[in-house]
Amino acid sequence: MSVELWTIVIVGLSFLIYLYIGWRSRVKDSEGFFVAERGVPSIANGAATAADWMSAASFISMAGLISFMGYDGSIYLMGWTGGYVLLALLLAPYLRKFGKYTVPDFVGDRYYSNLARLVAVIAAIFVSLTYVAGQMRGVGIVFSRFLQVDINTGVVIGMVIVGFFAVLGGMKGITWTQVAQYCILIVAYLIPAIALAVLLTGNPIPQLAFTFSDIADKLNQIQVDLGFKEYTQAFVNKPMIDVLFITLALMIGTAGLPHVIVRFYTVPSVRSARFSAGWALLFIAILYTTAPALSMFARYNLITSLHNHTIAEVQQLDWVNKWENTKLLAFEDKNGDGRLQLTPSKDTNEITIDRDIIVLATPEIAKLAPWVIALVAAGGLAAALSTASGLLLVISSSIAHDVYYRIVDPQASEQKRVFVGRVMVGLSLVAAGYFGVNPPGFVGEVVAFAFGLAASSFFPAIILGIFDKRTNSTGAIAGMLTGLIFTSIYIIGVKFVGMPAWFFGVSAEGIGTLGAIINLIVTWVVSRLSAPPPVEIQALVENLRTPDLEDKQAVATFEN
């Protein structure tokens, strides 16, 4: 069978699984819709968290970024994985003990202010819409290549699938769908990585293959011969301060992502939250330790397949023609010699490749079996749709629960709350579809912006809300607004208006770190200059850090 037919079969089967799970998981009450009835087992929640967190940026774009950036791409590995560890150890157990539905719910109650809740809602929607743009772009890319349909059509198909299980099952439907999506995406990522490791090094374990073989030396030499820096040379494309700021922005941004944090509200207890965090870290590590190897293999294959070949030769390749049709791969014989040259200079480079296609195209470049290529397409869709569904629920719950129920109509019935939540999912889908059709950048870049916005808005409010009982509502509101406004202006100015990166050359992807620092300073200073929180709020914060009985029993059992 052809790649397209295999893709229709595998993607079709995966979609049927998602639809079936969504139908079986449909809910009628608000607790089921917003927090999956708080009954998700730790290992299942770990898999769902991993799928929710490993978006199209992780599956589709990250390896592409590393392939193009070389060692510099490690900022994404360090930032995203380090941030998850930070979230799992420092925030998740306390947030679960607080026992709310959403991050704005935590902010509103901890800072005893509906204004603080509204600011958090705005930040959550802003972050989620920015993030979902990357997911919808990933969906469009997969559909446009592997099913040979228009990108807009692909986005609409993805919207319908997500909308079905998100509207019917809410968080419960999304959770169990994400468990299935994790299984699909991790298998789809590992199989081509293992195949490439065997083909290029003879070692079937990707992590060992690129560490203990000569593939890195070969690639370094090829890079130097073509005028590039060595692939493994450290930090040649970015100044060190930008590397530091991007890494920190990704770390604290991860710890402030509302769609990841909400996953820890779906388990039965604080202890379950800790265990699910551990499972998620294991599931995430499987992909994230494979990504550097796949990036190196992909770069080596890409160069050897295209550089110095004639245009006639490469256009005889089926994968080249199909990716050219998507406008994400292009050739231009600038010197008229009939051969394609890959160079670091825009003036002489004759091969233009969208870095978002690297993972998706690599199995075809390596001439792997059609079913493997189709499986990778299904994996890319699983990664994009799993995160998109989580983000859509964040937007829905922020409006339906935190605005409508907590502010507009506190007496709303269960049925009305779920109805409003479902309507908000539908409206969010429309917004997500728009961004999928009109994406503001590469998947990885767009997602990096979302992390910066989360870092500058949520992280300081959460960390101070847990560990500093003197932080009050006035300080939290001032800090969140200052951090979010500053970071948004810098990102929009640098990326879309032509403003220079005036803060020591720090890029738009890294400015969230400075936004978070500004937020922390403003929050701390304003809180000290204004009245302290009520006594009951300070007692609540003290209790938040006091171990529960189950935690004490677990420690006693371990010591014995």
Residue 547 DSSP one-character state: P
Q: Is 54 helix (H, G, I), strand (E, B) or coil?
A: coil
Q: How far apart are CA 90 and CA 356, in angstroms?
A: 33
Angle between helices 414-437 and 370-397 (to 10 degrees): 130
Contacts of 313 (CB under 8 A, 6+ apart): none
SS3 content of the chain, % helix, strand, coil (to 5): 75, 0, 20
CA distances from 477 to 110, 342, 371, 524 (A): 12, 50, 52, 11
Q: What is the pLDDT of residue 521?
A: 97
pLDDT of res. 239: 85
79: amino acid identity, one letter = G
Query: Residue 339 carries which DSSP code?
Result: B
Q: For residues 135 and 444, give the distance between their C-alpha atoms in angstroms, rounded to a whole number.
A: 10
Element housing 514 (H / E): helix 511-529
**DSSP strand E in 44-171: where?**
none
**Neighbour tally for 334: CB within 10 Å:** 13
Beta carbons of 12 and 377 less than 8 angstroms apart: no
What does the block give as tokens for 17? 């699984």
DSSP state of 474: H
Largest CA distance in the chain: 78
DSSP type of residue 120 = H
Give the ranges where 147-239 is alpha helix by DSSP (H).
151-201, 206-212, 215-225
Mean pLDDT by 10-residue block, N- to C-terminus, for the chain (560 residues)? 86 87 78 78 90 80 85 86 84 80 86 91 83 75 74 79 74 85 93 93 93 92 91 84 91 83 83 86 92 92 88 84 82 86 88 84 88 90 82 82 86 84 84 73 60 88 93 96 93 86 91 96 96 93 73 42
- Helices assigned H by DSSP within 262-399: 270-288, 291-306, 311-314, 318-325, 358-365, 370-397
The pLDDT assigned to 518 comes to 97
Q: Are 512 and 447 in contact (CB under 8 A)?
A: no
Task: Decide: helix, strand or coil at residue 188.
Answer: helix
Q: Determine the pLDDT at residue 315.
A: 81
Which pLDDT does position 163 carry in this prediction? 77
List, for residues 175-205, the tens digit of each pLDDT value: 888 899 899 999 999 999 999 999 999 999 9
Domains of the chain (ranges; CATH) run: 3-298+368-559 (1.20.1730.10)
Which residue from 425, 192, 432 is spatially nearest to 290, judged by alpha carbons?
192
Amino acid at 358: I
